[in-house]
Copies of this chain bind each other. A is one copy, B any other.
Amino acid sequence: MTTPDPDGLLAEQLLRLTRRVHRIQKRHLERDDLGVTPAQSRLLRTLAHYASPPRMADLAERLEVVPRAVTTLVDGLESSGKVRRMPDPANRRVTRIELTDEGHTTLRELRGARRSAAEEILAPLTEKERQVLGVLLDTLIEGDSGTRC
């Protein structure tokens, strides 16, 4: 009651839980044999949110990683034919990333994997609790950009 978070217990729970999320996600991805890693899956999903092909830098910002990390992810996805690097005619420094047809297909199949993984992870929670958790996590994530710099 007095000390709900003595010395980072909550952060520890968070990390512990995430190792679990990671494992489950990986297992579901492997089960469906989609040939993408969790991080690649995230990039694919992010990609789908754009109306027009984003630049590498855009993806880096969205994914909250350094640009170099995006290069690695796109390398993998491109070599497996899920995305395509497209030169930007207006600015020859930028390359835009586009989903291929196969990428779209994978993305659809991925939805199933993601859904069942999420279901497994969130099984112990009721609908209501999931909503609450969602709000709390959102607050924490939002809080980041606010307190930054």
Contacts and interface: CB of A to CB of B under 8 A. Distances in A.
A89 interface: no
A27 interface: no
A16 B18 CA distance: 10
Given A18-B15, A64-B19, A115-B8, A124 B139 contact: yes
Give how many copies assemble into the complex.
2
B42 A12 contact: yes
A42 to B, nearest CB: 7
A90 interface: no
A11 B118 contact: yes
A5 B137 CA distance: 13
Given A5-B118, A114-B8, A117-B8, A136 B125 contact: yes
Interface in A94-135: 111, 114-115, 117-118, 120-125, 127, 129-134
Contact of A122 (B10, B118, B141): B10
A100 B17 CA distance: 29
9 closest Cβ pairs, A-B complex: A124-B143, A8-B114, A18-B18, A8-B118, A13-B137, A7-B114, A11-B118, A7-B111, A133-B136
Given A7-B118, A11-B117, 16 more contacts: A4-B127, A7-B115, A10-B122, A11-B118, A11-B121, A12-B42, A14-B14, A14-B21, A15-B25, A15-B42, A16-B141, A17-B140, A19-B64, A20-B141, A124-B139, A124-B140
